[in-house]
């Protein structure tokens, strides 16, 4: 049951209320990317390949029309590096024109575009030469950023350089361990109990972490010189220490989250991406509590994670850097549950905003039911997509959240959010 909330919170002028997608997960046929190569590799490492995805490469005008008609005022979407530069140094002018049309199309529909330059997938050639482990990766990403500016122009406003760099760095560790154990990285990182080892017990690759931070800073400087507001988005883990486990929680948070937040202290904004929590005991990460409700991804249903993640993030980056919630949602086939989860998450967000945290936007994950890195089974979308016809059907949650966006209000504060990870800072 959703707890009662107080009066609705009026959102500040300019507050962004929208939904998010990632290029590889919705566009389809991203054949020059490393993810496409993984999906079609000899190991059979995914449940199913992305294929046509939601065909948003062609149907983006319909997607944007729906979001605008529903009442949203912003849309976060990605530019796919593998389409822009399918071979080293060869720039696709057609791809640039496509993304330029998307940015302008969003503005024409009253949607503020928040553009992500890198959302997990890279050009295949980039990964085959070593990817983010190579010392010249920041040079290559900086060059791509300059090229992407031709598509973003001055309409992009907010641009995210790299999505969830902490998860990117973790994937490099998982791939190394998987190779050592003869398993795939994607299979080893599963959260449904099929993993050979728990991703929560391994650390992101330290070298990749350093390279990603340098790449972000180089990219952000280029974007800033162009008059755009640059930031990146971090996968917030919401570590909760059991009594006596504070130092262990700090040791978990430091390499997996906090170093990436600290790197954002000079940015124009920071993206918070929160879904659930991770409990830490004396011996490390604890399993989901017995009897707890879980999602289609096996995560504990814990909407309070959003408020706790925002508080933790703000405490690290400092008050000068505003927060944008760039992802928050739930994988469920029960849309009433999606509404209940989101209502409670927004109530917590209202609480921390009343406490003085500078929050500038909320983007639900995701706009569409899409490809979730190996499977279409987890449905996060506000809008359903028919896999055969690609017909879009807004769910009741889309109309409910869109109405909130149109009203400029969100559910009022619920119980105070816990201050999470203080010892981990």
> Cα–Cα distance between 129 and 118 in angstroms, integer?
17
Say whether 164 is catalytic. yes
User: Exactly one of 27, 80, 85, 164 is catalytic; which is it?
Assistant: 164
CA-closest candidate to residue 17, choices 373, 324, 268: 324
> Cα–Cα distance between 285 and 287 in angstroms, integer?
7
For residue 355, give both structure tokens.
Answer: 């406490």
* DSSP letter (8 states) at residue 251: H
Consecutive H or E run containing 19: strand 16-20
Q: Convert 92-151 into a string of H (helix), E (strand) and C (coil).
A: CHHHHHHHHHHHHHHHHCCCEEEEEEECCCCEHHHHHCCHHHCCCHHHHHHHHHHHHHHH
> Cα–Cα distance between 166 and 261 in angstroms, integer?
10
The owner of tokens 């508080």 is 311
What values do phi and psi take at 352, rounded to 5? -70, -30
> Which residues carry out catalysis?
164
């Amino acid at each position: 049951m959703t707890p009662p909330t107080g009066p609705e919170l009026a959102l500040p002028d300019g507050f962004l209320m929208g939904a998010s997608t990632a290029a590889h997960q919705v566009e389809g046929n991203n054949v020059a990317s490393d993810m496409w190569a993984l999906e079609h590799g000899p190991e059979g490492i995914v449940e199913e390949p992305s294929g046509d995805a939601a065909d948003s490469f062609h149907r983006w005008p319909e997607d944007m029309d729906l979001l605008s008609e529903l009442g949203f005022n912003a849309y976060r979407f990605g530019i796919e590096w593998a389409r822009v530069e399918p071979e080293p140094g060869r720039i696709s002018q057609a791809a640039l024109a496509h993304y330029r049309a998307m940015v302008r199309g969003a503005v024409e529909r009253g949607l503020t575009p928040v553009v992500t330059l890198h959302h997990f997938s890279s050009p295949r050639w980039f990964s085959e030469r070593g990817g983010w482990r190579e010392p010249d990766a920041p040079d290559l990403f900086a060059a791509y950023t300059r090229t992407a500016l031709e598509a973003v122009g001055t309409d992009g406003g907010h641009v995210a350089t790299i999505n969830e760099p902490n998860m990117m760095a973790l994937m490099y560790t998982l791939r190394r361990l998987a190779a050592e154990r003869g398993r795939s990285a994607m299979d080893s990182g599963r959260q449904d109990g099929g993993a050979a080892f728990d991703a929560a017990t391994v650390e992101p690759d330290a070298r990749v972490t350093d390279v990603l931070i340098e790449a972000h800073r180089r990219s952000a400087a280029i974007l800033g010189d162009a008059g755009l507001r640059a930031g990146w988005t971090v996968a917030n883990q919401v570590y909760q220490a059991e009594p006596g486990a504070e130092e262990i929680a700090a040791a978990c948070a430091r390499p997996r989250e906090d170093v990436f937040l600290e790197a954002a202290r000079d940015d124009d904004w920071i993206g918070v991406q929160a879904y659930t929590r991770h409990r830490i005991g004396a011996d490390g990460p604890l399993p989901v509590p017995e009897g707890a409700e879980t999602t289609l991804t096996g995560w504990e249903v814990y909407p309070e994670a959003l408020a706790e993640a925002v508080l933790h993030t703000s405490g690290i980056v400092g008050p000068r850097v505003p927060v944008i919630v760039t992802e928050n949602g739930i994988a469920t086939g029960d849309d009433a549950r999606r509404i209940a989860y989101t209502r409670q998450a927004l109530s917590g967000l209202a609480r921390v905003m009343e406490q003085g945290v500078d929050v500038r936007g909320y983007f639900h994950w995701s706009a569409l039911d899409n490809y979730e890195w190996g499977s279409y089974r987890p449905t996060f979308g506000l809008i359903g997509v028919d896999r055969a016809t690609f017909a879009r059907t807004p769910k009741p949650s889309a109309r409910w959240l869109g109405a909130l966006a149109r009203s400029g209000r969100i559910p009022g504060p619920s119980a105070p959010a816990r201050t999470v990870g203080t010892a981990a800072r």
